[in-house]
Every structure is written in C-alpha cells, then in structure tokens.
Amino acid sequence: MKRKYKHSIRRQITIAFALIMLFTIGVCLFMNDLFLEKFYILNKERALKTVYDSICSGVNEKKLDTDEFELEMQKYVAKHNVSICIITSLFEPVKIYSNEPSEELMLELRENIIRDSLWYGKLKKMLLETDEYVMGILTDKRTQTDYIEVFGTLPDGSLFMLRTALESIKESATIASRFLLYVGIVSLIISTVAIFFLSKKLTKPILEIADISEKMAKMDFETTYKGENLTEIGLLGNNINILSNNLKETISELKTANIELARDNEQKAQIDEVRKEFLSNVSHELKTPLALIQGYAEGLKEGINEEEERDYYCDVIIDEAGKMNTMVKKLLNLNQLEFGNNNVTMERFDIISLIKNYVQSAEIMIKQNDIKVNLPNYNEFYVWADEFMTEEAFSNYFSNAINHCEGDGQKRIDVNLQMIDNKVRVSVYNTGKPIPGDSIDHIWEKFYKVDKARTREYGGSGVGLSIVKAIMEAMGQQYGVINKDDGVEFWFTLDKV
C-alpha cells in the first residue's frame, strides 16, 4: 500500500525549486531594470574610444587616404552605428563616414568648435573630458534623439567629431523585462511540473529506505535495500543493509548467549553435584591410605619391640603418605588444567630428546619389571607444544604402560612417532591385556579404574589419564586409545615444525 507522508520530501523539493526559480527571475528583472542602461552606455563609450584610437593611429601612420582605412571606418559605421567627421582647422572637410547627411555633421561640428557653450547647453551628462576631446550625452532638440558625441582635435591638428545615437534604452529595458517575465513564468511552470515528477524518482529509494528502517524498528530484518543507485542514497541503502545484518547477527548472538546463560545456570547445579562427587571420590581414595597410616602409627605407639616390624610399619606409613602426596599433586594439576588456570606456553623443542630423557629417568622401574623398551629411530624431531605439559602427558602414558605391561614371554613397550596430516602422532604401546569394551569410554574420567586391585597394588590414583585428556584439550590436540591383539596403545598428537 502506498503511504502518504505529511512532510513529503517530494513536495518540499518542488516548493524549494519553485521558490529558487522565482527568486532567480526576480533578481534578473531587478538587474535588468537597474543596470541594463548603464551597461549599454558603457559599451557605446568603448566603441567610440575604439574608433578614436583607430583614427589617431591612421593619422599618425598617414593612412587616411588608404583603402584599408576607408574599409575600417565603414565597418565601424555599420557595426556601431557611428558617424565620423574629420575637418581641417579651416573647417574644410577631410573625411566623413556616416549614415547621416554630411552637411548636418559639418554644421554640428562647426557649432561645437565655434560655440562650445552651445554644446554644453545641450549636454545632459558629461561622460569624459580630456585634453584631446570631450564626450557626453546630448539631446537633439529637432529630433528629440539622444546622442553620445565626442569632439576634439587629432594629433595632426585636424578637428573631429564622433556621434552615435542612443536608442530608447529605457523602453528597450522595459520590453526586455516584460519578455523575461513572460518567459520566466512559462519556465517556472514547466520546470515545477518537471521537478515534481523527477523528484518522484529521487524520493522513491528514500521512501524504500524509510520503510526498511520502520520494519527494522519492529525487529524485521529480512527486507533489504536492492536499489542500484550509486549516489549517497545508494550508499545509505547499503549501510542500512549492513546495519540490518549486524543487528540480526547481534540479536542472534544475544539470544544464543541467553540460551547459554540459562544452560550455564543449569550446569551450575550439575557442577555442584560434580564437586560433591569429586569430594566424595577424593575422600574415598584418601580413606584407605589414611586408615593404614593411622593403624600402623597406633601400632608403633603401642610399642612394637621387633625392629623388623617397626621398620615395616614405618615403610608402610612412608609409602602411603607418598601415595597421598602424589595424588594431591595430580589433583591440583588436574584442577588447574580443567579450570584454565594453567597457561599454555607454545615452544619449539625436540620430542625425541624429551622421550629419551624420561625413559632414562625411569630406567630403574623398567629393569625392576623386566621390560624391553623400543624407542623411535630418530636423532631429533622438532614439534610445537608446551614442553612441560607434553612431558607430563608422556610420563602418564609411559608409567601407565609400565604398570600394566604383561606377557608370557618378553614384556615390551614400544614408543613410536608417525606423521599424519602435518601432525606428529606420539604413541606408547605395551603388551598385556586389552581394556574391556565397556571401560574404553570411561578411562579418561577421574578416579575411574579398570582393575582397582591392581591399581591399588602399584599405587595408582586414577587421575593420570584425566590429566592427559585435560592437557591435550588445553593445547587443542587429539588423544585416544587402541586395543591391540596382544596389548594396548595410547596416543596423542602434536604440531610438527
């Protein structure tokens, strides 16, 4: 539906244009009435000065009798309607060029020379007076015609007079003003009608943009400006489209944020439950070593006399305290990783050197468990990662492999590097029993233990693989586990340099 606006731009443009046209016509009429006569007289003065300069030049160059001079004077007579009369000081005619009778010019010039008071008596306005000539506007009493006359002497002493009739400039100005008024009125009507229809084309995209902005105010961002106008209006339309799109995206993000906020509030309750569960698990894990420490400490207090028993009791207390210390450290490390408090420092380092150094530090445990370790055949291999976190992840994999390494024959741990899509895949394989299928998805959870009795035997805390998961997610890498026919392979990826 076509809408009507109380303060239409189209109407305002039309009125403004009409007023400008009226003002322009009025200024033209005023200027015509005020300055046209002066401008006309000024042009006549210039024409007479030009003729005078040409005559003086002809006298000085002695060209008065040449055909060239004759032709030049005739052109002035025809072009400027000027009469030229040159006589000697004895009033003998030398040259006369005029559309008027030469006798009248001679008579006029004689009267001006002999009785200049007569000339001044007829003078209406003095235009110019020099040592060589005078110029003024006079009225011929016989014909009641106004003239501009110039008379004086030439360089050779000859007398001259120039005269040109002034047409009725006032009447001409009146006629010109009337004609200009008629033309202006017709032009005003035609131009106003033209601008009225032209303004429709100009205001159409503006009205379209106004409708779009109104829909935007009602949260409707589907309508867009589709004009191809390359002017400021087109730029405004494109900016409106950008604004609409940005508002749409911002509102969408805001709604998403509100949904996420609601989800976060919902998850907050879940986190509280997880925290309670975490505390319960920690309490459960610490309950056994605390009970052992308490029991053996009470035994020592009761005064065990056997030295071997006292040493055994002390060893148990030290061992259980060490297990508790290890568990607390790992829990603190895991807590920092999960809550993003542990900053990741990416650096370039040799993964081969890291692996060999750690395996060398675990040499005692390897020999105690009679395990053969196979390392990758690289002198050096550089990667981008957090070196400390990478060592922590590898140590958890390797210690886990040592603790679960079994075999009828030779126990074996294989450490391998493999390039996959510009990633380095680090894997740790150990011979032994595969992980049960129902436990594969849970081994990365805190305190989850596949074989609790065996885990207790070597002092496992159940958080080692959870730490690996947190480290890899903090560095944006992948990790996983693969059951083999005769063992288990754990792996994670790093960026290759």
Full DSSP string of 309-375: HHHHHHHHHHHHHHHHHHHHHHHHHHHHHHTT-S----EEEEHHHHHHHHHHHTHHHHHHTTEEEE-
For the ranges 9-18, 185-194, 443-452, the lowest mean pLDDT is seen at: 443-452
**Nearest one of 399, 406, 414 to 467, comparing CA atoms:** 399
In this structure, what DSSP letter does residue 129 have? E
Asked whether residue 287 is assigned to any structural domain, the reply reads no
Question: How far apart are alpha carbons 492 and 427 in whole angstroms?
Answer: 7
Whether residue 305 is predicted with pLDDT greater than 60 in this model: the reply is no
Q: Which two tokens stand for residue 131?
A: 């040592």
Q: Other CB atoms closer than 10 Å to residue 451's CB: what's the count?
A: 14
Does residue 369 sit in helix, strand or coil?
Answer: coil
Residue 478 lies in a domain: yes
**Mean pLDDT computed over 322-350:** 68
Query: In the prediction, which pLDDT does 117 show?
Result: 57
Do strands 123-129 and 487-496 pair parallel, antiparallel, or not at all (unpaired)?
Answer: unpaired
The 10s digit of each residue's pLDDT in 52-91 is: 999 899 888 888 888 898 898 888 888 888 888 887 766 6
Q: How far apart are CA 328 and CA 388, in angstroms?
A: 19
In a domain, 280, yes or no: no
142 φ, ψ to 5°? -75, -45
Q: Does 412 reside within a domain?
A: yes
Which tens digits make up the pLDDT trace of 227-242? 666 666 677 777 777 7
Tell whether 284 is covered by a domain.
no
Q: Dihedrals φ, ψ of 91, to 5°?
A: 65, 30
Please answer whether residues 63 and 214 qualify as being in contact, where contact means their C-beta atoms are separated by less than 8 angstroms. Answer: no
- Residue 73 placed within a domain: yes
Encoded tokens for 223: 């309508």
What's the pLDDT at 482? 93
pLDDT digits (tens, 9 = 90+) for 104-131: 666 666 666 655 556 666 778 888 888 8
Q: Which segments of 61-155 does DSSP mark as H helices, in order?
A: 67-80, 102-114, 116-122
Q: Rounded distance, CA 81 to CA 77, Å?
A: 5
CB neighbour list of residue 444: distance below 8 Å, 6 or more residues apart: 465, 466, 468, 469
Instruction: Specify the pLDDT at position 64.
Output: 83
Contacts of 342 (CB under 8 A, 6+ apart): 333, 336, 389, 474
The residue out of 117, 147, 172 marking a domain boundary is 172
Q: Do the beta carbons of residue 102 and residue 96 sit within 8 Å? A: yes
Q: Which two tokens stand for residue 49?
A: 């000065």
Question: Of 49-58, 169-178, 289-298, where does the model show the most confidence?
Answer: 49-58
Q: Which residue has the higher pLDDT, 120 or 378?
A: 378
In this predicted structure, the answer to whether residue 410 has a pLDDT above a threshold of 60 is yes
Report if residue 251 sits inside a domain. Answer: no
Q: What is the CATH number of the domain that holds 16?
A: 3.30.450
CATH number for the domain spanning 359: value is 3.30.565.10
Calculate the average pLDDT of the chain. Answer: 77
The answer to the question of residue 351 being in a domain is: yes
Residues 6+ apart with CB under 8 A from 209: 225, 233, 236, 237, 240
Check residues 340 and 444 and name the one with the higher pLDDT: 444
Q: From 172, 203, 227, give the residue that closes a domain.
A: 172
Over residues 420-425, the mean pLDDT reads 89
pLDDT band at 424 (very low <50, low <70, confident <90, very high): very high
Q: Which residue has the tokens 């053969």?
A: 372
What local confidence, expressed as pLDDT, does residue 272 receive? 62
Q: What is the mean pLDDT of residues 436-446?
A: 82
Give the model's pLDDT for residue 116.
59
Considering 172, 195, 210, which residue would you say is the last residue of a domain? 172
Question: How far apart, in whole angstroms, are the C-alpha atoms of residue 312 and residue 310?
Answer: 5
Mean pLDDT of 417-422: 89
Asked if the model's pLDDT at residue 11 lies above 60, the reply is: yes
pTM: 0.41
Mean pLDDT for 433-452 is 76
Check if the beta carbon of residue 205 is closer than 8 Å to that of residue 233.
Answer: yes
Where are the extended beta strands (E) located within 202-264?
Answer: none
Over residues 36-44, the mean pLDDT reads 81
Angle 401-406-411 from CA coordinates, rounded to 5°: 85
Contact between 110 and 91 under an 8 Å Cβ cutoff? The reply is yes
**Residue 366 and residue 398 in contact, taking contact as beta carbons nearer than 8 Å:** no
CB 1 within 8 A of CB 126: no
| Helix%, strand%, coil% for the chain, nearest 5 | 60, 20, 20
Rounded to whole angstroms, how far apart are CA atoms 172 and 170?
Answer: 5
Provide the domain count of the chain: 2
Q: Which domain holds residue 120?
A: 9-172
The top-scoring range by mean pLDDT among 294-308, 320-334, 414-428 is: 414-428
What percentage of the chain exceeds 90 in pLDDT?
A: 12
Q: How many CB atoms lie within 10 A of CB 258?
A: 10
* Alpha carbons 105 and 108: distance in angstroms, whole number: 5
